[in-house]
Structure 1
Amino acid sequence: MNQFYYDAVTKMESMGVDDEYILGWQAGFLHHPEREEQRITEAYEAGYADGGEKNLDNLDKWVKS
């Protein structure tokens, strides 16, 4: 597995990032098709976009409080 991917997911989990964002990020990173429309959340959609760009800049916005 790609070391960047592993490190990114580990970082998100340790930071307490929203699970929906993580799932979206993983799907976007791996170029999986998006979920069907009724199952897409704001966090998933943001994660999908960031994962597709291999972007970790927005993680703080999705840390669960």
Structure 2
Amino acid sequence: MARDPAQMKTGELRQQAERAGIRNVDQMNKNEMIQALGGSANANRGGGQRQKDPRPKGVSPQDYKNVPGNQT
């Protein structure tokens, strides 16, 4: 399995880029090489919170008894 390019050393990335046929590798920095190889420069970085989808009516126990058709 291939390693994450963001975790690799610059020399290893340079070798991969040269094998892939990318030109002017000696003038690129690490992020430029990752982009040229088709990767994302900020892979596995960031994060933050994602907005949650609102729950549909009737899925919480408090609402379940108030949804039409669920009254007993």
TM-score range, shorter chain: under 0.3
Q: With structure 2 as the length reference, what TM-score do the two structures score?
A: 0.24
**When you count helix as a share of all residues, which structure comes out higher?**
1
Q: Please identify the structure whose Cα radius of gyration is greater.
A: 2
Please, what TM-score do these two structures have when normalized by structure 1?
0.26
